Structure 1
Amino acid sequence: MSLDGGAIGRRVVLRHETGHVGPSGGPELNDVIGRVRAVDATTVTVERRDGRTEVVALTDVVTWKEVPDRPLRRRRALDIEVADLTRITSRGWPAIESVPLGEWELRTSGRFTGRANSVAVHGDPGLPFEQALVRVREFYASHDSPALAQVVVGSPEERAFTAAGWVPITGHHGGAVVQVADLDPAYDSDPAARVASTVDDDWLANYGRVNDPVAARAVLEGPQTVGFVSIGSPAVAIGRIVVTGEWAGIACVEVAPAHRRQGLARRVVETSLGWAVEHGADKAYLQTMHSNHAALALYRPYGFVDHHDYRYLEPGPAPAPTDSAQ
């Protein structure tokens, strides 16, 4: 089989020249294992397990072959490190503008959701902590947005931000629990459900967190492999499923109030997870709140369990000036 459009969607190992000299004096070679996402006249794009992509010039490819779609041994969903899962979830809900600050990620998207409008804090920011906080404040001030930090509950980073005077934001969406599950080989996808690659007005009308449809569409449609599930015409139940590498992220499961308690949410979840498996995922994550008992009950039969919690912090009030006369 040629390395062309027919390879898209297949899992491959691809050996290519890096452009550097190897230990023996010949060309340095590197292997990339992942799923082919795009091929054009000059390059091939391969997506790794964690959703990172690598673009390789076809002229640099030495050899390649297809590998089994599902390795005999796979890593359990619960075994992933928190920082790695945070990066994966961020790729699945990508900000319109994303700027690296060392290993941190400054994200802004017209204030559509906290996940796309906060600094994702994991790893090393690449400069002293106090200087990193200054950069965070400057970034969000330049975008006329409030400075927010998404931190893992109980992490050293949360303690550092708290010590620097940052405080939890108030309100219903002040944080979330991230749950994960290992996926089954197959699910009972609903034949009445539609899975589209873009968001239409009907789908968007059922998702109640949209103030700016342009920003919402940019974030929701951002990943390369994403599906928008809907049931009914007009839609009465929706969901969003994204695949980045071996991981799927399920979100936006909503049912119109007049149609609840009819099993529609379960049908959306089954269809979403089935679509994810078909597109190469063998693990999944979701983000909800401990107080959302209906959502927790919906996902529990599919094996979802807690992985970690995160919360949003904002700069606290400036300290009151001292009276120099005292």
Structure 2
Amino acid sequence: MDLVGKRVSVRHREADRVRDVVGRVLVADASGLHLERRDGQRAFVPAGTVLAMRVVPDRPLRPRRAAAIATEDLVRVTSRGWPAVESVALGEWELRASGGFTGRANSVAVHGAPGVDDPFAAVVGFYERRGLRPLAQLVVGSAWDRRFEDAGWVPVVDQPPGAIVQVADLGTPPPADPEAIVAPHASDAWLAHYGRVADPALARAVMEAPATVGFVSIGDAAIGRVVVTGEWAGIAAVEVAPAHRRQGLARRIVRTALAWAVEHGADKAYLQTMRDNHAAIALYAPFGFATHHEYRYLTAP
């Protein structure tokens, strides 16, 4: 039986104990099973250790509500959906570097404990060694947000300062737009519409990295990106060419992205947008999106 794409429950031996893991099969080969759990984390079950396995339903009978996720857990989920080229753990923090392409992929994601006595110096050293400005992505109002500020870190002024993160539960989405195309890779035309790309290879390295990602387009007029990691879908990069605005194209892109996400196993979605981007907030509201938390970027003095 072809297991790729199916959600399975596997009981296997690990050292001197027995463990159970549930996830969607990404790869099944002679080495074993590569799984993606509901939170987007990866797991590997080596060949020869499986004691029992069964296929389970794609969706739980009682799915967890999107708004109920802890803020730090959602930060981890969103990071998996926009993965950095280089990711290094600093305790529970994630140091991310991608040659300067987007703040999300070039900042430390602060969640949990850093595991070192002077995390500020560790962050500065990591980015200085790579020729990048030290950036911290911090949940507004969190304890670490205040501690970074007390340490002298200041808000950025030459890039988007942060964003609100909105979430929604995905029931039965509206059907995908018949004119929309969802491709597994970002074409040159798609990247040209995105408009934030100085190095196409670097942009693709970040945006195409997840195992389940789609690049949505409607002709040469509108684009969007959708990624599925576990039970979560991330919607981003919804852009409409100026000559084609006010024709409902952005709504058609979002509708298609959400339909694709549900088809690929997601039952919740998130997005990130500026608090003062009223047009974007109005676009997503009919799909059930509501604000979960806000983050900002601080940089070392």
Q: With the length of structure 1 as denominator, give the TM-score of the two structures.
A: 0.91
Deviations 1:160-200 (A, max 9, x none): 00110001111451000000000022321011111111111
Matches within 5 A, 1:103-252: 103-128=92-117, 131-171=118-158, 173-232=160-219, 235-252=220-237
Aligned to 1:10: 6
Aligned to 1:319: none
Whole-angstrom CA distance in 2 between matches of 1:59 and 1:249: 35
Deviations 1:249-302 (A, max 9, x none): 000000000001111111100100000000000000000011111100000000
Matches within 5 A, 1:60-139: 60-128=49-117, 131-139=118-126
CA contact (8 A) 2:173 2:255 kept: no
Superposition deviation, residue 58 in structure 1: 2.1
Percentage of pairs with the same residue:
61
Superposition deviation, residue 68 in structure 1: 1.5
Counterpart amino acid of 1:14? V
Secondary structure, aligned partner of 2:124: helix
Deviations 1:68-119 (A, max 9, x none): 2211111100000011000010000000001000000111101000000000
Whole-angstrom CA distance in 1 between matches of 2:193 and 2:232: 25
Whole-angstrom CA distance in 2 between matches of 1:127 and 1:86: 21
Correspondence 1:258 to 2:243? yes
Whole-angstrom CA distance in 2 between matches of 1:254 and 1:226: 17
Matches within 5 A, 1:305-324: 305-316=290-301
Counterpart amino acid of 1:288? T
Secondary structure, aligned partner of 1:114: coil
CA contact (8 A) 2:233 2:270 kept: yes
Which contiguous aligned blocks of 4+ residues in structure 1 show a shift greater than 4 angstroms?
Answer: none
1:269 to 231, 250, 254: 254
2:275 to 290, 313, 318: 290
How many residue pairs end up in the alignment? 301
CA contact (8 A) 2:167 2:271 kept: yes
Deviations 1:30-57 (A, max 9, x none): 1101111111122111111100010111
Whole-angstrom CA distance in 1 between matches of 2:3 and 2:172: 22
Q: With the length of structure 2 as denominator, give the TM-score of the two structures.
A: 0.98
- Structure 1 or 2, whichever has the larger Rg, is 1
CA contact (8 A) 2:108 2:123 kept: yes
1:19 to 9, 12, 15: 15
Aligned to 1:281: 266
Whole-angstrom CA distance in 2 between matches of 1:74 and 1:68: 12
Superposition deviation, residue 67 in structure 1: 1.1
Counterpart amino acid of 2:272? Q
Aligned to 2:287: 302
